[in-house]
Amino acid sequence: MGTQQILFVVLSVIIVIIAVGGGLTLFKIHSIKSNRQACILDMNNFAAHTSAWWRTPTGQGGGERTQYLTGGGGGGTNYIDMLGEYLGYNYNTQSNKLQTENGSFQIVNGGSYSVKFEATGVEYYNGNPINIVLTINLMSNNITIVTLN
């Protein structure tokens, strides 16, 4: 082979490597953004169902406009466990977590008339899993979303 042919083959290999690397990077960025959006969508769904649960009387399996989500961690007799069982999604009473294909979501007392969902996604960004917090104020139906990672 001539020198020009070898140079052409080397340059072709370098261009292909750069193209493949760029494609993989774009795919990873897209999967991270998709996981964030999917987690936010799941939490918005949880927030809507939480609002309905909160307005439902206790005798019908609801929260009866309780001011604080108490308890959690087992038994199924406190408000966090009652809400988790109402929401479904493979709720674990010991950890207060819901599980979907997009990640795990912990139910936390968000304060007076508020519920907080803390999401841990399945994708990683900078070595850490996607982490998002959604807080819903049940009196005003205001939702606050904070993306931590």
d(CA 19, CA 83): 49
| 0.75 exceeded by pTM | yes
- Partner residues linked to 147 by β-bridges: 132
Average pLDDT over residues 46-73: 86
> In this structure, what DSSP letter does residue 58 have?
G
**142-147: strand order across its sheet:** 97-100, 103-111, 114-125, 128-137, 142-147
| Residue 70 pLDDT exceeds 80 | no
**Average model confidence (pLDDT) across the chain:** 89
Confidence of residue 37 (pLDDT cuts 50, 70, 90): very high
